[in-house]
Amino acid sequence: MTSRFRRWAIALGAVVLVSGASLMGALSASGNGLPPLPDFVPADPAPTPKPVYRAIVSSVAVDRTGCEALPSNIRAGGDTVWTLPGARPRQYLVHFPQGGRAGQKLPLVLNFHGLAADGQMQADLSGFHAVADRNGFIVVSPDGSGEPRGWNALLRPQGAGDDVAFTGQLLDKLEQDFCVDTARVYAVGFSNGAMMASRLACRLGARIAAAGAVAGVYKPTEQCGRPVPVVAVHGTADDTVPFEQGRIIEQTPYPGAHAAISAWASSGSTCTPTAELFTMTPSVAREQFRGCGRNESLLYIVYGGGHTWPNELATADVLWSFFRDHPMPTDTLPKK
């Protein structure tokens, strides 16, 4: 790998730990002409530390599977590293929510890291575990593959495997081991992980209810399934994955965040979506696309924001709020 590409790879997968400063006051302001926003709960500015349970396991002792009992190594509010066996074994970090219990059907968020990162880094970057504890859903942050480690989505790390097939196998395993609400399975990611979430919305639309993409949304040219709702967050000063049309790491063509989310909004129809722009704060606006059926799409624009998980927005809360409001349509669920 050239030193120049290595610098870009590190930038593309860079982890910026942020506090996610709350915008609740701005979001709830009245008289500004904004449509009502979802009622998500802001993060506690000084949360009480909770015990974290970590264990490395390659084969898990399970008393019973699915909705009958939890795996014996799982603790509510804790993290556990699991391994999906196969020709290319992959690790994935499971966070089971505080207050979760056996027999309770829970939503699932698949959380994909950026290039040159891993599942633990993405968990720390995104802050989804705290949101999961407050709202009661499982978070799974898997490791990618290839060199540098990433996902076969728009970018193609050398040696990366079939990540769509891997995700399908991972979902099969998670649904076997946990009581997953299959109508509320979501994919989200940062940078190359955002591209992976975008690709899964196309290729696994029968299993992914909605997708979220931070600094990397795109609409695949592959044959996609059903129209999937997509929410994106992107900074206008991103010099790695450009906000406007350009090239990723000066190589891979990219249509721009606005064009990508507009394409998702019109997916599966000949409709031209109507875009409405709402100013939330001086640094954040929300572009809302409507008029093309179920596949509502949103773009949060961070003015002056770079290639980061933004601290101008309570990003994980915003993404979960969108997911919560977009379960799988009942007429697309498989008959059992």
Q: pLDDT band at 138, cuts 50/70/90?
A: very high
Q: What angle do CA 145, 151, 154 make, to 5 degrees?
A: 145
Cβ-based neighbour number of residue 10 at 10 Å: 15
Q: pLDDT band at 271, cuts 50/70/90?
A: confident
Q: Which two tokens stand for residue 92?
A: 């994935």
Interval 131-159 mean pLDDT: 94
- Stretch among 6-15, 43-52, 124-133 having the lowest mean pLDDT: 43-52
Does a structural domain hold residue 308? yes
- The helices-and-strands tally (H runs, E runs) of the chain is 8, 12
pLDDT reading at 238 higher than 80? yes
Q: What angle do CA 52, 108, 183 make, to 5 degrees?
A: 160
Structure confidence by residue, pLDDT tens digits, 60-87: 333 345 688 899 899 999 999 999 988 7
Does a structural domain hold residue 336? no
Interval 115-141 mean pLDDT: 98
What percent of the chain stands above pLDDT 70?
A: 76
Residue type, 103: G
Q: Which two tokens stand for residue 201?
A: 């919305």
pLDDT of residue 33: 42
Does a structural domain hold residue 335? no
Q: What angle do CA 183, 213, 21 make, to 5 degrees?
A: 105
Interval 78-103 mean pLDDT: 93
pLDDT of residue 65: 55
Structure confidence by residue, pLDDT tens digits, 149-195: 999 999 887 877 899 999 999 999 999 999 999 999 999 999 999 99
pLDDT of residue 28: 39
DSSP 142: E
Instruction: Compute CA distances 194 → 71, 171, 275, whole Å.
Output: 30, 18, 22
Q: Which residue has the higher pLDDT, 324 or 28?
A: 324
Give the global pTM.
0.81
* All residues at 6 or more sequence positions from 291 whose CB lies less than 8 Å from its CB, including other chains: 271, 272, 273, 274
pLDDT of residue 248: 94
Does a structural domain hold residue 119? yes
pLDDT of residue 18: 39
Cβ-based neighbour number of residue 244 at 10 Å: 12
pLDDT reading at 27 higher than 80? no
Cα-to-chain-centroid distance, residue 297: 14
Interval 231-250 mean pLDDT: 95
Residue 276 belongs to domain spanning: 3-328
Does a structural domain hold residue 334? no
Cβ-based neighbour number of residue 83 at 10 Å: 15
pLDDT reading at 102 higher than 60? yes
CATH of the domain at 261: 3.40.50.1820
pLDDT of residue 87: 76
Interval 120-134 mean pLDDT: 98
Does a structural domain hold residue 120? yes
Does a structural domain hold residue 139? yes
Q: Are strands 79-84 and 106-112 parallel, antiparallel or unpaired?
A: unpaired
Q: Which residue has the higher pLDDT, 13 or 107?
A: 107
- Stretch among 40-49, 118-127, 273-282 having the lowest mean pLDDT: 40-49
Q: pLDDT band at 335, cuts 50/70/90?
A: low
- 324 burial (CB, 10 Å; 0-12 / 13-18 / 19+) is middle
Does a structural domain hold residue 73? yes
pLDDT of residue 13: 52
Cβ-based neighbour number of residue 14 at 10 Å: 20
pLDDT of residue 290: 74
The total number of structural domains in the chain stands at 1
Whether omega for the bond prior to residue 148 falls within 30 degrees of 0, making it cis, is yes
Nearest alpha carbon to residue 240 among 313, 304, 191, 309: 191
